[in-house]
Structure 1
């Protein structure tokens, strides 16, 4: 059959509308908040030792080359006033994105143990230069907030000398203090003066919700996990409540290293380490160590990685050392995404900070961060998690952690123990407030006091643990939002995402207007062509235009309501329907 002019017009209008809709939809998708694509730069660093000035300049160059992926800040100063610079690497620097874990690497804690310092610089170069080119690196940066502190002891480093196999020259800070014996200890009363470097780390842990960390040393080739200290102070295995996950993350490093997993001893030593890992206290007991302090007083799981037998190897060895450690460093970073993660909120979707999360049978609790988000590193298996917070009814859920899979997401909603006024028009966005910052009077008045968890009934939590007293210093700022799925909430405070969201909204409005206009135009066109068919209905007809059973749906005629079928005056053809117009104007 012939195609009527009406049908051709209809098909043309429909095609135009579909094409326009598809084009605008693609444009809308392209404007959605996504990871930034930085201007392609090429950061370069040589395989040689870099003094403190060169290290600082490299970090500044890294930030200037990749400003959309980095933030350079310092956590304090050494005893001699050298800034302790940290380079943050993520797709949204300067912002804690709710649900995104925070990771840190620390190098050069002992000034004369230097390979960690250099490999961290190479890692920075590798991550930034491969962003957007390597899917694995791009995903790691997009999904993790990475903090890298290449040197914790720049004063000691300036005293050390290249080519040193062992010895202590440069090990200590400017005051002659071993920083890795200067932290509060869980077994022994070591109320000693804390050095500037130690205080900087302690503040850093309070200000960021770190999940996983490692600090680099030299003098052996092994991944060393808590506990580092035994109660007796002697060399005896002292496993933590999370011994299984510490072994897993340590193996993630040793097995990805070129030789560490072999467990071979350094020249002159008569012992090795099975699979290249060891419990710290089983090797030798360390009082006042940094890795135990991380685990006991914060949510952060930290291990100590000895990168090689030479403490200060010649520069000619650095390329090989980087090759040996590159995959291991990346493998360890990925461990921040195992276990269980989620959010804890009240029934009005307000995040609950400092809620305690206990794993049944495991004497180590963690607490939620300021956005109510949490990350609990666990090995594959079945667990029972209980969340408690002052003023709320505890909630227990069962969860399964799967092998070779990202962290299982499980969220908790807590109900208030008693009816209290709640703010329903907005939820709370919590910002971390550094203890060193001066708060305005309005900020001070808005700080939400969080009652101590020590008053939580003992039957609701695991056995008392030092970790149960962890605290994040938070203040809240109301912002309009609804409950939704917290995992998909846009990062708060991101001007880039805000602008993209505004543009997307404007485009959506324009799209709606265009569609309405096209539909109206099509209606007007059809009205003009179709002889004012208001008041007509279609009924089935046979080949001769006579009415037939409703089961024949191929042919129809148009009948004015209230008339009979004898007034047909003309017919219009169409591919699968015949329309008979009545009383054509």
Structure 2
């Protein structure tokens, strides 16, 4: 029963791994690249690769974590949640706290620098969408927003809304939520179902009633936003095409069948579809308050440059790189001087 449980019990594996925090810390890698102005041209803002050292056989990674990562890579999940206990709230990314920037001695930052200097205020590009998803669960839960008595163990950290950004509440690197957001298409949140982490058998029915409608409402949100298929002019699907939504600096990619899903709040969006070897396509897609994703399909035409590469490949020739063309011009000038 609950009298025998505590917060730590059941949170780690037998080998001593906390599975929720055992994933690669991709957020810190992204922020380091941003500091060096490498994003997005040399470092992606989405589908960030897993570091090689993390995949080594001797890496301190749980077997279960490796299995979950492989599962995520194999299936194009769109919306996810991990169910936890001991609290009654919904937590959303980022869970990682961005390091505070060092300020030179004697220098004073402006009020505009406060958000960058305070790690708790670092938000994802999809912050508004994550809040929508979190509120959809908390507002449908029977008691989650009744925080007038405070939180489960301390004061209320959710501003009476039942939702909180992970880094603002309990900062930690390498969480499943951050990994899912930065490595896959999936938006994942943590659902803390109730204050009692190990409820007694007699309490289970009420716990189910507390969470049932919230779970159903949350799952319905997967049908909010846009969805579609990206094909070429012959109707063939284009896998790994990038879907870019204007104003949101985080992209998703198409699956093996050229299909994609992008959860979005109600509104009007400019959406681009891009793929290597094709000319990009753009259209305006509207998302409505009613449940049901808007269809937004794209047909991409092959670029002229791709056709040139194909012709050269057929003739066993390779195009000159910009550096090679520069050297060629320099040699021509030298010959002309002779």
Query: Is the structural similarity TM-score above 0.5?
Result: yes
Distance in 1 between the 2:22 and 2:127 partners?
24
Q: Tell me what 2:140 maps to.
A: 256
In the TM superposition, 1:31-430 aligns within 5 A as 162-164=2-4, 166-188=6-28, 191=54, 192-232=59-99, 236-264=120-148, 265-274=150-159, 275-418=161-304
8 Å CA contact retained: 1:164, 1:313: no
Distance in 2 between the 1:182 and 1:267 partners?
26
Distance in 1 between the 2:91 and 2:152 partners?
19
Instruction: Give the Å deviation of 1:183.
Output: 0.2
Distance in 1 between the 2:27 and 2:129 partners?
22
Distance in 2 between the 1:163 and 1:301 partners?
35
8 Å CA contact retained: 1:228, 1:238: no
Distance in 1 between the 2:243 and 2:260 partners?
9
Distance in 1 between the 2:136 and 2:147 partners?
14
Unmatched 5+ residue regions in structure 1? 1-160, 421-585
Number of aligned residue pairs: 260
Distance in 2 between the 1:214 and 1:296 partners?
15
Instruction: Give the Å deviation of 1:188.
Output: 4.3
Instruction: Give the Å deviation of 1:321.
Output: 0.2
Distance in 2 between the 1:395 and 1:365 partners?
15
Distance in 2 between the 1:248 and 1:238 partners?
17
Distance in 2 between the 1:410 and 1:384 partners?
11
Distance in 2 between the 1:310 and 1:171 partners?
14
Q: With the length of structure 2 as denominator, give the TM-score of the two structures.
A: 0.73
Distance in 2 between the 1:227 and 1:363 partners?
15
In the TM superposition, 1:485-524 aligns within 5 A as none
8 Å CA contact retained: 2:221, 2:291: no
Q: Tell me what 1:139 maps to.
A: none
Distance 1:335 1:164, change over 3 A: farther
Distance in 1 between the 2:73 and 2:153 partners?
41
Distance in 1 between the 2:4 and 2:157 partners?
22
Unmatched 5+ residue regions in structure 2? 30-52, 101-117, 308-338
Aligned CA RMSD, in angstroms, stands at: 1.9
Instruction: Give the Å deviation of 1:263.
Output: 3.5
Q: Secondary structure at the match of 2:257?
A: coil
8 Å CA contact retained: 2:12, 2:19: yes
Distance 1:319 1:415, change over 3 A: same
Q: Secondary structure at the match of 2:141?
A: coil
In the TM superposition, 1:525-540 aligns within 5 A as none
Instruction: Give the Å deviation of 1:162.
Output: 4.7
1:23-79 deviation line (CA, Å, top 9, x unaligned): xxxxxxxxxxxxxxxxxxxxxxxxxxxxxxxxxxxxxxxxxxxxxxxxxxxxxxxxx
1:220-258 deviation line (CA, Å, top 9, x unaligned): 110111111111288613211001111111111011100
8 Å CA contact retained: 1:352, 1:372: yes
Q: Secondary structure at the match of 1:362?
A: coil
Distance in 1 between the 2:169 and 2:152 partners?
17
Distance in 1 between the 2:279 and 2:288 partners?
29
- Looking at CA atoms only, which structure, 1 or 2, has the larger radius of gyration? 1
Distance 1:210 1:223, change over 3 A: same
8 Å CA contact retained: 1:222, 1:263: no
Q: Tell me what 2:312 maps to.
A: none
Distance in 2 between the 1:240 and 1:388 partners?
22
Instruction: Give the Å deviation of 1:261.
Output: 2.2
Instruction: Give the Å deviation of 1:417.
Output: 1.0
8 Å CA contact retained: 2:225, 2:266: yes
Instruction: Give the Å deviation of 1:312.
Output: 1.0
Q: Tell me what 2:330 maps to.
A: none
Instruction: Give the Å deviation of 1:266.
Output: 3.4
8 Å CA contact retained: 1:393, 1:417: yes
1:133-180 deviation line (CA, Å, top 9, x unaligned): xxxxxxxxxxxxxxxxxxxxxxxxxxxx75345331332101011111
Distance in 1 between the 2:279 and 2:122 partners?
35
